[in-house]
Structure 1
Amino acid sequence: MSVPEVKHLRVTNIDGVAMVDFVGSELMYASDLVQDVGAELTSLVKDQNHTKLLLNFRNVQYLSSMMLAQLAHLDREVKKAKGQLRICGLGPVLRDTFRISHFESLFAIYDDEAAALKGFH
């Protein structure tokens, strides 16, 4: 299986953790964008064998319910790979979105990168 082209993510490896920033995805609600981002995230686990992921949402203002479903799918893929998934950089609107949808209980959410990175070790 070929690795999809990464257009919406910037991935940096920090001590074995794939730190993911979202590029040009401030408003993740268009269905084709959400599907592309979801495929790129899943590829990190399935095709590139990253088992420790840190998703930084500092550049994202809004997520659709379809994007939340993509994140739930990613969480299942990471767990299948016996990996860990952490989230940081949620602004007030996204934090409310995660709280209202009860996703705060599904994900390990940290205020910033440094705290999230410590959560892996």
Structure 2
Amino acid sequence: MTFQCELTDTNGVRQVSLSGRLDSATSGDFEKHLQTLFESSGARALMDFSSLDYISSAGLRVVLMAAKRAKQAQGRLVLCGLQPHVKDVFEISGFLKILTVADDPVSALSHLNA
């Protein structure tokens, strides 16, 4: 299965929809997609993982880098729709303690607009 990343803008929030497998073979392209995500100060973004089947440590690294860029830009990043097996990877890595995670895109938007 291939990896796909779709970026859309909705009411000032960048939405990143992920599908497929995010691993060492696809994380480089994903990182390139995220280059402009937090260029402006105070940018807000949500990453929707509801169609992501797999994430490796290489994928986790890119998500962590995006979170650091958000913090540096005084922006906000919320993850949502983590499938149980993907959520387990985030849990084991300790990322759930340092990232904001919502159940679905509606909840994620609520976090971003609060």
- Identify the TM-score tier after normalising by the shorter chain: 0.7 to 0.9
State yes or no: 1:27 paired with 2:21. yes
Consecutive unaligned residues of structure 1, counting only runs of 5 or more, are 1-6
Count of aligned positions: 110
| Alpha-carbon distance in 1 for matches of 2:101, 2:111 | 10
1:9 shift after superposition = 2.3
Question: TM-score, normalized by length of structure 2?
Answer: 0.88
| Alpha-carbon distance in 1 for matches of 2:35, 2:91 | 23
| Alpha-carbon distance in 2 for matches of 1:9, 1:101 | 23
Deviations 1:20-68 (A, max 9, x none): 112xx41111x2411110121122223xx38101000011011110110
1:10 shift after superposition = 1.5
Q: Pick from 32, 41, 45 the counterpart of residue 34 of structure 2.
A: 41
Question: TM-score, normalized by length of structure 1?
Answer: 0.83
Work out whether residues 42 and 77 of structure 1, in 8 Å CA contact, stay in contact via their aligned partners in 2.
no
RMSD: 1.7
**Counterpart of 2:8 in 1: which secondary structure?**
strand
- Aligned residue for 1:107? 99
Instruction: Give the structure with the higher percent strand.
Output: 2
Matched ranges for 1:1-121 at <5 A: 8-22=4-18, 25-29=19-23, 31-46=24-39, 49=40, 51-121=43-113
Work out whether residues 57 and 89 of structure 1, in 8 Å CA contact, stay in contact via their aligned partners in 2.
yes
Identity %: 29
Deviations 1:1-20 (A, max 9, x none): xxxxxx94222222211111
Consecutive unaligned residues of structure 2, counting only runs of 5 or more, are none
Work out whether residues 4 and 20 of structure 2, in 8 Å CA contact, stay in contact via their aligned partners in 1.
no
